[in-house]
Amino acid sequence: MTYPVKPMSKYDADIVITYNGVCHTDIHMIDNDWGMARWPLIPGHEIVGHVINLGSQITDLKVGDVVALGCMAQSCLTCEPCIKGLDNICADLVFTYFGDTKDETGTHPHHGGFGSYMRTDGRKLFKVPPSIEEKYVGPLMCAGITVFEPMRHFLNGTDGTGKTIAVAGIGGLGHVALQFAAKMGAKVIAMSRGTSKTDFAKELGAHELLDTTNGEAMAAAAGTIDLLIFTASGGFADVNQYLTLMKPYGNMYVIFHLCVCFFVNSRDYPSNNLHIFFVPLSSHFCGIPAEDVKFNVMPMVFGRISISGNPGGGSGDTKLMLQFAAEHDIKPIIEVFPHSKANEAIQKVRDGTIRFRAVLKNDLV
Ligand SMILES: [Zn+2]
Ligand SMILES: [Zn+2]
């Protein structure tokens, strides 16, 4: 299909899309799992392209630049989070394909990256460092920033020397998290059910793999972890088991996938998980637990342990993440499909058989 593009604003940029990642959020929106899809629905929030036209007020980009767009199409730019580069928590955040952008030309629905071209607010585009191949950028804009953000905030930077970072779950998010943690210089522990992924986790930078089904190994690991990042969406029942692993002042980080976390209201993700997301200053959650999360506060209180979550990452952290990924050659593992075969890619993501992120290459223009 074609759709009429909004009038050009002085803040807009037109891009020709080169690659676009496929995320589980796209599938949830296509299936209208959260009851908030609007048709025509053009999903896609892991977008890479080349600038072909710019509004008069966008002066930090030029035609030909390689740029990326993630989950955030627009934010107010004036609130405290926006000013601090934490626009991922702006109250007026417009998501890439479920909201309306506003500018001097009016209010218009914003569409995602499953397309050939895009007109979008140029102030939310990120320049892609030239050393990152374009096909890898999309998943970094979603999975990458979502796991980078808690590390950056916990470490107050990107130096993990002397810290132990554990990543629970070695999938779409976890396999990128292990790479970031290793390149930050932390001691990295991959956590998985069973030991079958040991060699793979080590290839990604893990120093060891902790089998969460092995009681002895779990007991031996008690009190050793500074930052624990949950990327697993299943097997989440016993948070207490994980709390015992934390060092005093440790942070358990359960990372809700950005777009999902605000609308946790489907059959898969009961809304009562939301309270974890809003626990302030707290362990970090990256996949979404499918069941309620219950835990004993005593180890949390006595260990001064916090539990928290993050909705993706803001502009400041996204810039830093791209730069860090470029410097350290961090690459998601992807399967590339021509855009004309988007349905095949979607089906593989739906079936859970993608290893680990699907990326569409624009073959339509
Ligand atoms: Zn996503
Ligand atoms: Zn704002």
pLDDT of residue 291: 57
Domain check: are 75 and 26 in the same one?
yes
Cα–ligand 2 centroid distance for 83 (angstroms): 7
Segment 334-347 mean pLDDT: 96
Domain presence at residue 237: yes
Domain check: are 203 and 90 in the same one?
no
Q: Which ligand is nearest to the CA of 47?
A: 1
Rg, Å, the chain Cα set: 20
CATH number for position 273: 3.40.50.720
Least confident of 22-31, 71-80, 195-204, 262-271: 262-271
Give the chain's domain count. Answer: 2
Cα–ligand 1 centroid distance for 141 (angstroms): 8
Q: Which ligand is nearest to the CA of 45?
A: 1
Closest CA to 44 of 66, 29, 65: 29
Q: Which ligand is nearest to the CA of 286?
A: 1
Domain check: are 35 and 97 in the same one?
yes
CATH number for position 355: 3.90.180.10
Domain presence at residue 281: yes
Domain check: are 171 and 86 in the same one?
no
Domain presence at residue 316: no
pLDDT of residue 262: 32
For ligand 2, a single-atom ion, the residues with CB < 5 A are 75-76, 79, 82, 90
Domain check: are 29 and 75 in the same one?
yes
Domain presence at residue 5: no
Least confident of 152-166, 230-244, 295-309, 339-353: 230-244
Percent of residues, the chain, with pLDDT higher than 90: 69
Percent of residues, the chain, with pLDDT higher than 70: 87
Q: Which ligand is nearest to the CA of 88?
A: 2
At 288, the pLDDT band (50, 70, 90 cuts) reads: low
Domain check: are 161 and 297 in the same one?
yes
Q: Render pLDDT for 167-222 as a digit per residue (tens, 0 to 9).
A: 998 988 999 999 999 999 999 999 999 999 999 999 999 999 999 999 999 999 99
pLDDT of residue 268: 33
Q: What DSSP line would sit under 246-294, residue for residue?
A: EEEEEEEEE---HHHHTT--SSSS-GGGHHHHH-SS--EE-S--SS---
Domain check: are 110 and 40 in the same one?
yes
Q: Which ligand is nearest to the CA of 92?
A: 2
Report angle CA 160, 162, 164 to the nearest 5 degrees.
75
- Which domain does 24 fall in, by range? 12-128+333-361
Buried b (16+ CB within 10 A) or exposed e, 220-231: ebeeebbbbbbb
Domain check: are 207 and 256 in the same one?
yes
pLDDT of residue 71: 92
pLDDT of residue 77: 96
Cα–ligand 2 centroid distance for 28 (angstroms): 26
Cα–ligand 1 centroid distance for 121 (angstroms): 19
Q: Render pLDDT for 127-177 as a digit per residue (tens, 0 to 9).
A: 999 999 999 999 999 999 999 999 999 999 999 999 999 999 898 899 999
At 308, the pLDDT band (50, 70, 90 cuts) reads: confident
pLDDT of residue 237: 54
At 259, the pLDDT band (50, 70, 90 cuts) reads: very low
Domain boundary among 294, 309, 324: 309
Domain check: are 218 and 162 in the same one?
yes
Cα–ligand 1 centroid distance for 45 (angstroms): 6
Cα–ligand 2 centroid distance for 315 (angstroms): 11
* Bridge partners for 211 per DSSP: 192
Closest CA to 303 of 363, 353, 244: 244
Domain presence at residue 2: no
Segment 43-50 mean pLDDT: 97
* Burial bucket for residue 168 (CB in 10 Å: 0-12, 13-18, 19+): buried
Cα–ligand 1 centroid distance for 332 (angstroms): 13
Q: Which ligand is nearest to the CA of 141?
A: 1
Domain check: are 148 and 120 in the same one?
no
Q: Render pLDDT for 100-127 as a digit per residue (tens, 0 to 9).
A: 999 999 999 999 999 999 999 999 999 9
Q: Which ligand is nearest to the CA of 80?
A: 2
Q: Which ligand is nearest to the CA of 255?
A: 1
Domain check: are 195 and 90 in the same one?
no
Domain check: are 80 and 121 in the same one?
yes
pTM of the predicted model over 0.85: yes
Q: Which ligand is nearest to the CA of 147?
A: 1
Least confident of 75-84, 155-164, 303-312: 303-312
155 in the Ramachandran plot: left (φ > 0), alpha (ψ -120 to 50) or beta?
Answer: alpha
pLDDT at 270 over 50: no
Return the amino acid letter for 288: I
Residues counted in the chain = 365
Cα–ligand 2 centroid distance for 84 (angstroms): 9
Domain presence at residue 327: no
Cα–ligand 2 centroid distance for 222 (angstroms): 40
Cα–ligand 2 centroid distance for 62 (angstroms): 25
Domain presence at residue 167: yes
Domain presence at residue 320: no
Cα–ligand 1 centroid distance for 46 (angstroms): 7
